[in-house]
Amino acid sequence: MLGAGRMGLEHARTLLGIGEAQVVAVADPVTQAAHRAASLLRAEKVYAEPEAAIADSAVEAVVIATPTDTHARLIEMASLAGKAVFCEKPVAQDLAETRQVMALVEERGVPFQIGFQRRYDPPYAQAKAAIEAGEIGEVEQFIAVMRDPAPPTLDYLQVSGGIFLDQSIHDIDCARFLVGEVEEVLAWGAVRVDPAIGEIGDVDTTNLSLRFANGALGVIQNSRRAVYGYDVRTEVFGSRGKLVMDATPKTPLWRYANGISADHYHFFMDRFKEAYRLELEAFFRFLATGQRPTPGTQDALESLRIALAATKSLKEKRPVRLEEVV
């Protein structure tokens, strides 16, 4: 367990319930956080440095939930040490570096899974199965909306790589997962939520058009702020039907007074709690059965490529074909 921050703790709680997983060590430079997680996890060892944990011979697999800029290095170290890796997205913000790290992972043959948890969210997983079973025929249109309740801090945004790499990438992975490879993108962006976001060169409101290799057309709309909570809706339309994933309301309590009302999800932890559990369960099941984990290296690479193409399109104010991003 590398990293004992918010996401790390969430994973820690999940790990507790997974029979196949036994946590040997927790690593986090914040000693208190590391000890707290270790105690929760009944882990015997606590390290300040993730490198030490990776080197520990009792460790067979690492779950990386450290700051983003450490991911690439830790994946490399773990690969070289022959340890299986589960890593929160992204591997890196740079295509060349990501490609190099993913190549090393492939070369070393270590099991690798990237944390696109939505693939394990039951409605998304079922939609995928339905599409593969031909339930909606040929996919023709795709719409994904994701809006966060509030923007992250400017400090976070400044190193986030921009909204397409940081936020849209989940919808991008979802597009690849449900529809297939993307050939061309056209990104439009605006600063509507906070002028400070514009000042650091980013946007907070986007409209990303996708043209898929199979001929389908799609759009991803993101916003950094939705006052009513976390908003995630995905629609896949095909020649024989459509599938809609739209988790509203959160609680099955309906209030009738002046009209009808219900509640709403607050944020992604809230909405995708089960998905976070299921993806880790899947990772350890893959390890136990020797199957190749998914989403894997290719998924980490290709989603980043699309996000970079979107960023390029936004800057250059023109459609960008994927082959331009190498």
Instruction: Pick out residues in 283-322 that bind a copy of itself (CB under 8 A).
Output: 317-319
Cis, peptide link before residue 90, omega less than 30° from 0: yes
Q: Does 205 bind a copy of itself (CB under 8 A)?
A: yes
Binding mask 152-191 for a copy of itself (x = CB under 8 A): ----------------------------------x-xxx-
Closest CB 3 distance from a copy of itself, rounded Å: 19
Contact segment (CB under 8 A) with a copy of itself among 53-61, 96-104, 171-179, 219-227 equals 219-227
Binds a copy of itself by CB under 8 A, chosen from 31, 207, 291, 298: 207
* Residue for token pair 């990386």: 64
Which of 169, 183, 204 has the alpha carbon at shortest distance from 307? 169
Q: Which of residues 49-78 bind a copy of itself (CB under 8 A)?
A: none
Size of the site for a copy of itself (CB under 8 A): 73
Nearer to a copy of itself, 73 or 273 (CB): 273
Q: Is the Cα torsion angle 112, 117, 122, 124 positive or negative in sign? A: negative
CA–CA dist 178, 219 (Å, integer): 13
Closest CB 207 distance from a copy of itself, rounded Å: 4
Binds a copy of itself by CB under 8 A, chosen from 67, 82, 201, 241: 241
CA–CA dist 73, 81 (Å, integer): 12
Binds a copy of itself by CB under 8 A, chosen from 87, 91, 102, 245: 245
Residues 6+ apart with CB under 8 A from 235: 141, 142, 143, 144, 242, 243, 244, 245
Burial of 203 (0-12, 13-18, 19+ CB in 10 A): buried
Q: Which of residues 250-289 bind a copy of itself (CB under 8 A)?
A: 251-264
